[in-house]
Amino acid sequence: PNLKVISTMSVGFDHLALEEIKKRGIRVGYTPDVLTDATAELTVALLLATARRLPEGVEEVKKGGWSSWKPLWLCGYGLSGSTVGVIGLGRIGMAIAQRLLPFGVKRLLYTGRTAKAHGAEVNGEFVPLDELVAESDFIVVSCSLTPETQGLCDKAFFSKMKKTAVFINSSRGAVVNQEDLYEALSRGQIAAAGLDVTTPEPLPTSHPLLTLKNCVVLPHIGSATYSTRGVMSALTAQNLLGGLQGSDMPSELSF
């Protein structure tokens, strides 16, 4: 009964019981915008690490697997001349697209509820989801978790992807059916996957995805730069103070 305000140090709020919060008239502060650049940078890093098999390469060096030169050893997939599909061209999706284009991406497809005016800034083509999945060499998921997107990336989704395609998720773990992803990766239905988010978090060390060489899993570190976390902390405190004092919150969630 005494709870007046909630301040979350995140852009996501799917961990909050929003219906109950709304019913009780509790104000909610969150931290959008300030983590956009850091998350976009991490997503591009994850894409490159996955596509070019960097964790595998590091492991081979450490365990002595690096021997004489072999033409196809540790070959991966490059961005130059490729088609990239972005699911959710919001703030973070747009920032990811802006960073990928200089790599020589030929086409940038995106999907979502509606076409975005800012999509033109990255020469984005608004297409249906099925077309994006079928034509993309790299698929980047950066949408919000909603009832519509929960479990969006499932068996049917992966079956439409190219066998040489790379799948990246830095949005929310629940957007992906991880059992279906494991099947697609282990059977060679898709080339590789990179995840910064999972269900649950942390992912148990016994999880099947962690047995695969073509799956790179990071511990949800999208916004983990010193400067970004500092700004997030300050904004979280300012939101909390605003809520307690009954004044404006810099970033208040509107229901």
Query: Known catalytic residues?
Result: 220
CB-based contacts of 44, cutoff 8 Å, min separation 6: 96, 99, 100
Coil, helix or strand at residue 182: helix
Closest by alpha carbon to 91, among 14, 7, 35? 35
Quote the CA–CA distance of 164 and 191 in Å, as a whole number: 5
Cα atoms in the 13 Å half-sphere on the side-chain side of 211: 7
Pair type for strands 5-7 and 215-217 = unpaired
Quote the CA–CA distance of 99 and 95 in Å, as a whole number: 6
C-alpha dihedral sign at 77, 79, 81, 83: positive
Characterize 51-85 residue by residue with b for buried, 16 or more Cβ atoms within 10 angstroms of its Cβ, and e for exposed. bbbbbbbeeeeeeeeeeeeeeeeeebbebeebbbb
